[in-house]
């Protein structure tokens, strides 16, 4: 690697990032070391071999808006929009169904925050944040039943029949811990990461990713912690520690008194801290996640075969040749990992803008594929987002 960025295997010694009761002091984990001041742009072809477009069909005014979560199961894509609906698309992106059940009654929800697929039961579960309940559906989107949680949950996961909830720092939750383990009878048998009184006052951050899966391993993270964890049925253990070359946000920084989240973010910017890890996705071959450095959004890509790390603020587009990912923004982040592929999304209006800007420029070099030209011709600015699956 050209830059002074390394990964080392260390004995477990960073006790500040390890919750009490894990009993994992003999285990090892990998440290991913990043210099936030050493950022670069890399060619897409240096990271990925090929790609596939999946255009999510816009049919009968079923507009997704912002994609908050996306999962793939049963050869279908399930798209969650936290403000309204769950959309089901075929493997080719054809529209199948929209689930819209806003309300306070049985089978209805107030606000959606997460979706989990229980492949052992051929059903998926969505979390109603403000309704404080879980709703169960079969793979065709038919409602089955619901379950009250009486908690403000941001994210959910299951290990066997046990439920794992991430509650964040909501001040009105009856349990002052971020991560909760419940059995099938709704008995709380383990909790981690206590929430201080000061954190409950101001630290309202909604992460895009808190849980993930790599083969049979379940993974947990939250943005106010620099460690990625493995989850077993009742304990968690460190998997990776992210070292920002001495610029990590100190653990006691979060326990200061801030009037609101804006003041907290301003203080991080003034201190030039790096952190707030999010958008974490991992496959057998690659790790991706974002972090903030001052006001800048960065993307980290780790090749697990060579353990080479790229700390980037944009890509050199040598695959599409229209500067499709020339900078990292919240509109073009990775949103899913599945079957060795990493999914990015791009809004249709952004895609059209990039395409038109290139076609209007004086630097047209004739390298645009016919597939991309056809996609541009059939896409309207108000169409649903386009998925790009990289291999």
Q: Phi then psi for 46, rounded to 5 degrees?
A: -80, -20
Q: What is the pLDDT of residues 196-255, one digit of tens each?
A: 989 998 998 999 999 999 888 899 999 999 999 999 877 899 999 999 999 999 989 998
pLDDT over 80 at 109, yes or no = yes
The band of 28, judged by pLDDT with boundaries at 50, 70 and 90, is confident
Look at 327 and 92; give whichever has higher pLDDT: 92
- Using DSSP bridges, classify how beta strands 133-138 and 143-148 pair: parallel, antiparallel or unpaired: antiparallel
Instruction: Calculate mean pLDDT across residues 59-74.
Output: 87
pLDDT over 90 at 76, yes or no = yes
pLDDT at 27: 52
Distance CA 185, CA 279 (A): 32
Q: Nearest Cα to 383, choosing from 81, 55, 85?
A: 55
Q: What is the pLDDT of residues 354-366, one digit of tens each?
A: 999 888 876 655 5
Distance CA 6, CA 291 (A): 17
Alpha helices (runs of H) in 11-129, residue ranges in sequence order: 44-47
Alpha helices (runs of H) in 84-229, residue ranges in sequence order: 197-202
What SS3 string covers 127-170?
A: EECCCCEEEEEECCCCEEEEEECCCCCCEEEEECCEEEEECCCC
Distance, CA of 98 to chain centre: 22
pLDDT at 84: 77
Distance CA 224, CA 168 (A): 10
Distance CA 218, CA 99 (A): 28
Asked whether the beta carbons of 244 and 188 are under 8 A apart, the reply is: no
Question: What element of type H or E holds 376?
Answer: helix 370-377
pLDDT over 80 at 338, yes or no = no
Q: Phi then psi for 302, rounded to 5 degrees?
A: -115, 125
Instruction: Calculate mean pLDDT across residues 76-90.
Output: 89
Q: Nearest Cα to 163, choosing from 229, 223, 218?
A: 218
Burial 167-189 (b: 16+ CB within 10 A, else e): bbbbeebeebbbbbbbeeeeeee
pLDDT over 80 at 99, yes or no = yes
Asked whether the beta carbons of 208 and 199 are under 8 A apart, the reply is: no
Q: Phi then psi for 374, rounded to 5 degrees?
A: -65, -40
Pick the CATH number of 69-207 from 2.40.50.220, 2.120.10.30, 3.10.20.310, 3.30.750.24: 2.120.10.30
380: Cα within 13 Å, side-chain hemisphere = 7
pLDDT at 362: 63
Asked whether the beta carbons of 142 and 161 are under 8 A apart, the reply is: no
The two most distant CA atoms of the chain are separated, in Å, by 66
Q: What is the pLDDT of residues 49-61, one digit of tens each?
A: 999 999 999 988 7
pLDDT at 10: 39
pLDDT at 339: 66
pTM greater than 0.85: yes
**Coil vs helix vs strand at 270:** helix
Cα–Cα distance list, 235 to 189, 242, 337 (Å): 11, 21, 25
Average pLDDT over the chain reads: 87
Cα–Cα distance list, 114 to 153, 154, 224, 310, 352 (Å): 9, 7, 19, 29, 30
pLDDT at 364: 59
pLDDT over 60 at 38, yes or no = yes
Q: What is the pLDDT of residues 134-183, one digit of tens each?
A: 999 999 999 999 999 999 999 999 998 999 999 988 777 788 899 999 99
Supply 348's token pair. 């249709």
Q: What is the pLDDT of residues 262-293, one digit of tens each?
A: 999 999 999 999 999 999 999 988 999 999 99
pLDDT at 232: 83
Residues 6 or more apart whose Cβ sits within 8 Å of residue 279: 208, 209, 288, 289, 290, 333, 334, 335
What does the domain layout of the chain look like in residue ranges?
A: 1-63+218-391, 69-207
Distance CA 388, CA 341 (A): 10
Distance CA 234, CA 243 (A): 27
Look at 66 and 187; give whichever has higher pLDDT: 187
pLDDT at 12: 38
Which of 9-13, 226-230, 234-238, 323-327 is predicted least confidently? 9-13
Strand partners, 281: 288
Helices and strands in the chain, H and E counts: 5, 27
pLDDT over 50 at 37, yes or no = yes
């Amino acid at each position: 690697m050209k830059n002074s960025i390394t990964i080392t295997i260390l004995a477990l010694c960073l006790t500040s990032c390890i919750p009490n009761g894990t009993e994992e002091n003999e285990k090892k984990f990998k440290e991913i070391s990043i210099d936030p001041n050493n950022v670069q742009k890399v060619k897409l072809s240096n990271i990925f071999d090929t790609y596939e477009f999946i255009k999510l069909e816009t049919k009968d005014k079923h507009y997704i808006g912002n994609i908050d979560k996306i999962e793939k199961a049963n050869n279908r894509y399930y798209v969650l929009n936290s403000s309204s609906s769950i959309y089901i698309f075929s493997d080719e992106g054809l529209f199948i169904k929209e689930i819209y059940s806003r309300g306070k009654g049985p089978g209805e929800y107030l606000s959606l925050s997460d979706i989990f697929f229980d492949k052992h039961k051929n059903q998926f579960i969505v979390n109603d944040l403000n309704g404080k309940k879980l709703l169960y559906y079969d793979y065709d989107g038919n409602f089955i039943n619901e379950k009250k949680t009486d908690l403000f949950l941001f994210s959910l996961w299951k290990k066997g029949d046990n439920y794992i909830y991430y509650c964040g720092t909501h001040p009105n939750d009856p349990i002052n811990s971020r991560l909760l383990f419940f059995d099938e009878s709704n008995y709380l048998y383990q909790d981690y990461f206590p929430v201080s009184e000061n954190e409950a006052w101001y630290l309202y951050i909604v992460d895009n990713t808190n849980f993930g899966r790599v083969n049979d391993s379940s993974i947990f993270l939250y943005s106010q912690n620099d460690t990625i964890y493995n989850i077993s049925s009742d304990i968690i253990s460190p998997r990776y520690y992210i070292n920002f070359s001495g610029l990590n946000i100190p653990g006691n920084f979060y326990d200061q008194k801030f009037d609101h989240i804006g003041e907290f973010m301003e203080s991080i910017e003034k201190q030039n801290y790096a952190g707030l890890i999010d958008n974490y996705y991992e496959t057998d071959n690659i790790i991706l996640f974002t972090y903030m450095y001052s006001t800048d959004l960065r993307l980290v890509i780790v090749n697990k075969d060579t353990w080479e790390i790229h700390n980037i603020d944009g890509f050199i587009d040598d695959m599409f040749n229209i500067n499709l990912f020339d900078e990292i923004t919240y509109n073009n982040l990775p949103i899913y990992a599945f079957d060795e592929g990493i999914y990015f999304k791009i809004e249709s209006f952004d895609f059209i803008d990039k395409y038109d800007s290139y076609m209007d420029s004086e630097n047209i070099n004739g390298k645009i594929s016919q597939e991309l030209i056809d996609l541009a011709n059939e896409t309207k600015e108000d169409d649903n987002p386009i998925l790009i699956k990289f291999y």
